[in-house]
Structure 1
Amino acid sequence: MILYLIKSTLCLGSILGIYYLLLERESMHHFKRFFLLSGLGFSFLIPLITIGQSEYMIDTSESGQYLVEVLSGNAAASSASPKFDVSLLFSVLYLLITVVFLVRFIVGIVALIRKARQNRNIPFKNATLVLVNERIVPYSFCHYIFIAHSDYLSKELEPELLTHELTHVRQGHSLDILAIELLRIVFWFNPFLPFMKRAVQANHEYLADREVINSHQGVAHYQRLLLDKVAGKTKIHLTSNFTYRLTKKRLKMMTKSTEKMRARFFISATLPLMAALVLLFGKTTFAQDDSTASDAELRSSIDSYFKDATFVCSDGDGPKVYKPYQALTEAEKGKIPPLPPSPPSLDGSATAISPLPKGTVVQLTEDGQVKILKNAAVPPPPPPPAKK
């Protein structure tokens, strides 16, 4: 899980890097929107893509069984000690912060819906005008366009601004922001999601500005209008609105145009780059010719797993002898079955292959079972025989 989160974070950062390097300054706004949104989704899917297929496996169908046996009594009591669960602390911290972001999101949605319901609504084309008893710069959310009541009554609302907000509504820009906000609730620790939201919002403004320029005459007039309105901005994190820095970028973007050949080049360039991200951050496995592991590989994995363990050995009805794994004879080692794909840890869970803790007691039964004895203690060696 940790590896997936790291890969998805780095993948999103790489996609944003490609966007700012190749596309941000271009006027191909519809493709930029597609690239940002698809890149956002791919950043969480690419780490799940498996490249190639491994044919490597260890045949354990006849290899016996690995068990963890917990001993009771004084041995268990003496070894039991309370441990601070760091993973539980991080889980609680994650849930608390997630709840904070979720509450913030819900409060923002409820506030906008309440404002829409508490004020006068007027159907307008494919949107709903909400007449607010405040002096505000128009902004939109879903199918609502919030405007000052006084501007509507006095007919002082500039048609360019209304066209701008209508474009946000018609093209569903609020849905993009809501999707990013939902991802931020779950992946609040991803440092690139705020930058993704900022890039998507900026591109929304470019799209709306382009529609205004196509519908109304005079770029210079619209630019002056934006400069006049930006001083009275109203900023709500779920809405489309004005900011000083963004307005400066918008003014520059209005006079830009990307040639068709240049646009085709950038579109074509993004495809191999996305393929490279799949190769870089996807789950890569390597195929091997043999369907089973070699004897040397099996022996190496067993040596690594049991190297610090102590084995209980006995010959028939004879006394039990405790031997470190390194002291076992080749015949005794040969009785140990191959490891399963995920040998058990001391808590009984399946884990990746890692050595048992030093001093772990292991018993090999006559029927081929390997018992890992949790809480077992190695008895002291018998005293030397008395001298005559």
Structure 2
Amino acid sequence: MEAALLYLLKANVVLALFAAAYYGLLRRLTFFGLNRVYLLVALVFAAVYPALPVPALLPAVALPALPITVLGATGAGSETAHLEASPFLNWQLLVLGTYALGAGLLLLRLLGQLLSLAWVRRHTQPVVVLGQPVRRLAGEGGPFSFGSDIYLSDSTLADTQHLAAALRHEQAHVRQGHTLDVLVAQIATALAWLNPAAWLLRRAVLDNLEYLADHAALQTGLDRRAYQYSLLHQQPGGVPAPALAFHFSFLTLKNRITMLNQPASTPGQLGRYLLAAPLVIALALGYTGTYAQAPATIVLDGPPAKGPIPIYYIDGKRIEPLTTAPLAGLNPDDIRSINVLKGEQAQQFDPVASKRGLIFITTRAGAATPEVIAFNNRVDSIAPIYTSEPAEVNAIAPKGLAYITKNYPSARVIAVTKYTRVSNSGVQYRVQLAEGKRPFYVFLTPQGDFLTEERH
């Protein structure tokens, strides 16, 4: 879940960077082909780069510490540390659910638009106009194109004075394959719907494609003034899914006429691309590499420990002197259990460890090896080792639920974690409760008997 949120964060940040660079440096340039490449790279790169392993371009920043909860094994004072279980309902799940719901609705809307266009195509008649195969659409409305099809309404066909200009504009859309850009922009907007930069980039893609088609139409020999005059006489609308079709629109008409009269950008202005795209990509890769290389740290719940550094064992091997290398190479998802001994318990295991404490880390890969099993049995004889996994509320026996209801009538259940003892597979349940804003824990046997209560 955290990985999905981090992916979304990175993708949306880079979309914002690309949008800022485009609107700040490139929007008014007449290098429409380069702008098309830039915008497509922006949308594709934002979707791909968070998942790529990249080197850090900036100093690594430590990730948040991985919390470990100290569990009282039987209420007798022994203490064992475990990875903290995430609550079933939390803000991360809520954010992801909301985000996915919005993306799903927009993707369904896109599917509906595609189906609408398919319906329109079925109800059109193929004809040839000025040597170009088109599809005749009954009624009024402006010309538009999608895929390899050009759609001309009866009103457009009747306007013979401006028909050639409209047809050449739509031919440019089809010839240059602009539908692909539109679909990429629509999908990107749906997947990043919460980010205003995604909508700005979508608008930029659609506008730039119109500029490209206008420029290509003029290259066929049309008079610039007459072409602009034809734009003013085109009718908007007439398309069930206008967001997916190229058509004349009053919303973009002003910008299109402005760009038609914009002086051609000079070769010296190409340097803006050398500033915009590499800068954005470097910032994105640096941001990703910073977090990709940052090792997760493992600490105990509560304030930072003071005093001597504890002695670490990883899969039964003592790490002494302690360096960051063994811990930096550990992925929290690969850890099966963590056990902590201190005071008299640490002294029982190692006489010189009474003041330093001991931390035993067992990985999932090493847990089944004979050497690690024998080592953990030795540790377990001093303080029980438990593994943890999330559990449903219905895993608690009715007796346990009755105990909670009776003794904590104003508390609500936040999460349930099942702890299994490594040596004998003994099970106990930790129930996370909350009264007000402060959580606390109640430990129960599988039969629902009360073991202990833990408050921080």
Q: Normalising TM by the smaller chain, what interval?
A: 0.5 to 0.7
The alignment status of 1:330 with 2:330, answered yes or no, reads no
SS at match of 1:164: helix
Q: Which amino acid aligns with 2:50?
A: P
CA contact (8 A) 1:102 1:185 kept: yes
Q: Which amino acid aligns with 1:10?
A: V
CA contact (8 A) 2:144 2:150 kept: yes
> Equivalent of 1:347, from 365, 386, 389?
389
Q: How does 1:44-83 map to 2 (within 5 A)?
A: 44-52=47-55
Q: How does 1:227-376 map to 2 (within 5 A)?
A: 227-229=232-234, 232-234=236-238, 236-284=242-290, 294-295=321-322, 330-331=353-354, 334-338=357-361, 346-347=388-389, 374-375=429-430, 376=443
The alignment status of 1:118 with 2:118, answered yes or no, reads no
SS at match of 1:177: helix
Task: Name which of structure 1's ranges 127-136 and 5-14 shifts more when overlaid on structure 2.
Answer: 127-136
> Equivalent of 1:206, from 200, 211, 220?
211
CA distance in 1: counterparts of 2:128 and 2:386, whole angstroms = 65
SS at match of 2:139: coil
SS at match of 1:140: strand
Task: Name which of structure 1's ranges 141-150 and 151-160 shifts more when overlaid on structure 2.
Answer: 151-160
Deviations 1:252-274 (A, max 9, x none): 11122434422432232235313
SS at match of 1:188: coil
> Equivalent of 1:189, from 194, 197, 202?
194
Equivalent residue for 2:11? 8
CA contact (8 A) 1:29 1:203 kept: yes
Equivalent residue for 1:64? none
Q: CA deviation at 1:362?
A: 10
Q: How does 1:216-231 map to 2 (within 5 A)?
A: 216-229=221-234
Q: Per the alignment, do residues 110 and 124 of structure 1 end up closer, same or farther by CA in structure 2, a change over 3 Å counting?
A: farther
Higher relative contact order (CA 8 A, sep 6+): 1
CA contact (8 A) 1:52 1:287 kept: no
CA contact (8 A) 1:46 1:281 kept: no
> Equivalent of 2:25, from 22, 32, 43?
22
Q: How does 1:154-165 map to 2 (within 5 A)?
A: 155=160, 158-165=163-170
Deviations 1:139-173 (A, max 9, x none): 11111211113543674552011100110111111
CA contact (8 A) 1:139 1:165 kept: yes
Q: Per the alignment, do residues 185 and 132 of structure 1 end up closer, same or farther by CA in structure 2, a change over 3 Å counting?
A: same
The Cα RMSD (Å) is 4.6
Equivalent residue for 1:175? 180
CA distance in 1: counterparts of 2:386 and 2:12, whole angstroms = 31
Q: Which amino acid aligns with 1:189?
A: L
CA distance in 2: counterparts of 1:314 and 1:151, whole angstroms = 88
Q: CA deviation at 1:251?
A: 0.9
Q: Which amino acid aligns with 1:240?
A: F
CA distance in 1: counterparts of 2:35 and 2:147, whole angstroms = 21
Q: CA deviation at 1:174?
A: 1.2
Deviations 1:301-359 (A, max 9, x none): 9xxx889x99995999xxxxxxxxxxx9933865542465999984369xxxxxxxxxx
Q: CA deviation at 1:119?
A: 1.6
TM-score where L is the length of structure 1: 0.68
The alignment status of 1:85 with 2:89, answered yes or no, reads yes
CA contact (8 A) 2:189 2:202 kept: no
TM-score where L is the length of structure 2: 0.59
SS at match of 1:283: helix
Q: Which amino acid aligns with 2:154?
A: H
Deviations 1:283-305 (A, max 9, x none): 335599xxx88527689x9xxx8
Deviations 1:93-148 (A, max 9, x none): 44543442232112211111111111201256997412111111111111121111
Q: CA deviation at 1:363?
A: 11
CA distance in 2: counterparts of 1:245 and 1:361, whole angstroms = 59
> Equivalent of 1:40, from 16, 36, 43?
43
Q: Per the alignment, do residues 269 and 279 of structure 1 end up closer, same or farther by CA in structure 2, a change over 3 Å counting?
A: same
Task: Name which of structure 1's ranges 87-96 and 136-145 shifts more when overlaid on structure 2.
Answer: 87-96
SS at match of 1:136: coil
Q: Which amino acid aligns with 1:331?
A: S
Q: Per the alignment, do residues 312 and 186 of structure 1 end up closer, same or farther by CA in structure 2, a change over 3 Å counting?
A: farther
> Equivalent of 1:108, from 69, 91, 113?
113
Deviations 1:354-376 (A, max 9, x none): xxxxxx999998x9x99996534
Q: Per the alignment, do residues 69 and 50 of structure 1 end up closer, same or farther by CA in structure 2, a change over 3 Å counting?
A: farther
CA distance in 2: counterparts of 1:315 and 1:224, whole angstroms = 92
Q: Which runs of 5+ in 1 are unaligned?
A: 57-67, 72-82, 317-327, 350-359, 381-388
More strand by share: 2
Q: Per the alignment, do residues 47 and 174 of structure 1 end up closer, same or farther by CA in structure 2, a change over 3 Å counting?
A: same
Deviations 1:225-254 (A, max 9, x none): 112225x44461111122224111111111
Q: CA deviation at 1:38?
A: 0.8
Q: Percent identity?
A: 23
